[in-house]
Amino acid sequence: MIKQDTIIPLLIEKEKKRQTEGLELIASENFVSAQIAAAAGSVLTNKYAEGLPGKRYYSGCHVVDEIESLAIERAKTLFNVEWVNVQPHSGSQANAALMMAVLNLGDKILGFNLAHGGHLTHGSPINFSGKLYQSFFYGVNRETGYIEWQEVAQKARETKPAMIICGASAYSRDWDYPQLRAIADEVGAFLWADIAHPAGLISQGLLNNPFPYCHFVTSTTHKTLRGPRGGMILMAKDFENPFGKTNKKGALHHMSALLDSAVFPGTQGGPLEHIIAAKAIACYEAMTKDYKTYVIQVQKNAKIMAQAFMDKGYKIVSDGTDNHLLLLDLTQKNLSGKQAETALQAADITTNKNLIPFDTTSPQVTSGIRLGTAAITTRGLVEGDILLVVEWIDRVLKNIADDFQIKKVKQEVNKYMRNFPLTTVD
């Protein structure tokens, strides 16, 4: 008989309490439904299924074949695309596989500057993407906080990249995909959108649609999409690879074949079928009216939050938001992102310190904090609650050295949030 671990279950309970009583404002987090949590914690974790549905390297895969096929079909329907691979274990894994399929080592890539809101896997020198490929970056305009497509075009003409990457982890504005495609075509580059953050909003038509313009799209499934932690790769239209790679019969491989094999065996082993089942449920949920209502509220809440901060004299990068997140610039408040994050955490308000464009501090200190509304909207917070959230944050930041005031905010936050149950729990 296996001895019961008494420690981890207690720690899970402790984490559940933290999630229930706190305010979750990390822009990349969310709360899954009970059915998604159940699938992610199901017996499917026991199964090895290297390969793809119908083409596995193990037997006993007939059930997981049905599950993975359904996940693929649902993701295709949700985003209205021709091809999806649902196996990447994370967004970074999806990105690694995509780059392996499309680029040669040392190829040039042009992405959005990490220090302006981009992502590590878009060419950062401390990530595989900047070590294996030669990376160049575009950024935002110092005055407006917006990316200028002219600058992207100029950088693309100067560097002649093999791939242009659009997408971010801390940019609150939308992307002009037709412009980016025109730039990519002009310099002979592929265009790749990483929609990890705004995927849910894009799926409901609340932001510009990258699919008709981008050769490749990658995403995570756990941010605004509100599924389990994981990634996927999508193509609106499959196409013959331009690298001359052929199969045994001499026919050109389609990109889908190159991408599939870059995921497995290229960069991963066995797929996580329990997570793939949870992704299938997330796509099913994302096709319901309730989900549409939810993402509309996420976007509304972010706009209200940005305006409420500006009304209180805070600077928001780009003076607002189009999506689910905003970047609070604390330079004029004489506070670092680290100080703000720590004080807010003491009040059970969870955020992350974040570089702001042209920041003069380090990523460990930063001059900003990033706030997102995906998770608190799942908890059920609407317009009036958001004003209260801004009030709490303002009180903490104004009383950063006053433990008594911060403790008072914490008590108010805990009491308030107990009224909004976690969806994960039945």
Smaller CB separation from ligand DSN, 115 or 252: 115
Q: Considering only CA atoms, which of 413, 201, 195 is closest in space to residue 297?
A: 201
Per the DSSP assignment, residues forming a β-bridge with 56 are 51
> Which residues of the chain form contacts with ligand DSN (CB under 6 A)?
28, 91, 119, 169
* CA–CA separation, 70 and 388 (whole Å): 41
Shortest Å, Cβ 169 to ligand DSN: 3
Residue for token pair 């299924």: 49
**199 class by beta-carbon count within 10 Å (0-12 exposed, 13-18 middle, 19+ buried):** buried
Smaller CB separation from ligand DSN, 28 or 321: 28
Shortest Å, Cβ 352 to ligand DSN: 7
* Residue 86 near residue 71, CB atoms below 8 Å: yes
Exactly one of 20, 21, 48, 408 is catalytic; which is it? 48
Shortest Å, Cβ 372 to ligand DSN: 9
Exactly one of 20, 21, 50, 245 is catalytic; which is it? 50
Give the pair of three-digit tokens for residue 60.
Answer: 């006993």
Shortest Å, Cβ 28 to ligand DSN: 3
Residue for token pair 């066995």: 270
Exactly one of 121, 159, 218, 220 is catalytic; which is it? 220
Task: Judge whether 114 is annotated as a binding position.
Answer: yes
Shortest Å, Cβ 6 to ligand DSN: 32
Give the pair of three-digit tokens for residue 191.
Answer: 């265009």
Helix axes 273-286, 62-79, angle to 10 degrees: 30
Shortest Å, Cβ 92 to ligand DSN: 7
Exactly one of 29, 194, 260, 329 is catalytic; which is it? 194
Per the DSSP assignment, residues forming a β-bridge with 349 are 23
Neighbouring residues of 25: CB distance < 8 A, sequence distance ≥ 6? 349, 350, 351, 371, 372, 373, 375, 376, 389
Shortest Å, Cβ 91 to ligand DSN: 6
Smaller CB separation from ligand DSN, 129 or 169: 169
Smaller CB separation from ligand DSN, 28 or 267: 28
144 is catalytic: no
Indicate the pairing of strand 349-350 with strand 23-24. Answer: parallel
48 is catalytic: yes
Exactly one of 173, 181, 229, 379 is catalytic; which is it? 229
Exactly one of 47, 74, 181, 223 is catalytic; which is it? 223
Task: Judge whether 120 is annotated as a binding position.
Answer: yes
Which residues of 241-367 form beta strands (DSSP E)?
A: 315-316, 325-329, 349-350, 352-354
Smaller CB separation from ligand DSN, 192 or 284: 192
383 is catalytic: no
Smaller CB separation from ligand DSN, 197 or 279: 197
How open is the CA angle 71-74-76, to the nearest 5 degrees?
A: 105
Q: 379-390 burial, b if ≥16 CB within 10 A, otherwise e?
A: bebeeebbeebb
DSSP secondary structure, 203-258, as one string: HTTSS---TTT-SEEEEESSSTT--SS-EEEEESS--B-TT--B-TTSPBPBHHHH
Cα-flanking dihedrals φ and ψ of residue 250, to 5°?
A: 85, 5
DSSP state of 133: S
* Residue 11 near residue 19, CB atoms below 8 Å: no
220 is catalytic: yes
Task: Judge whether 222 is annotated as a binding position.
Answer: no
Smaller CB separation from ligand DSN, 28 or 377: 28
Binding-site residues from annotation for (6S)-5,6,7,8-tetrahydrofolate: 114, 118-120
Binding-site residues from annotation: 114, 118-120
Which residues are annotated as catalytic? 48, 50, 194, 220, 223, 229
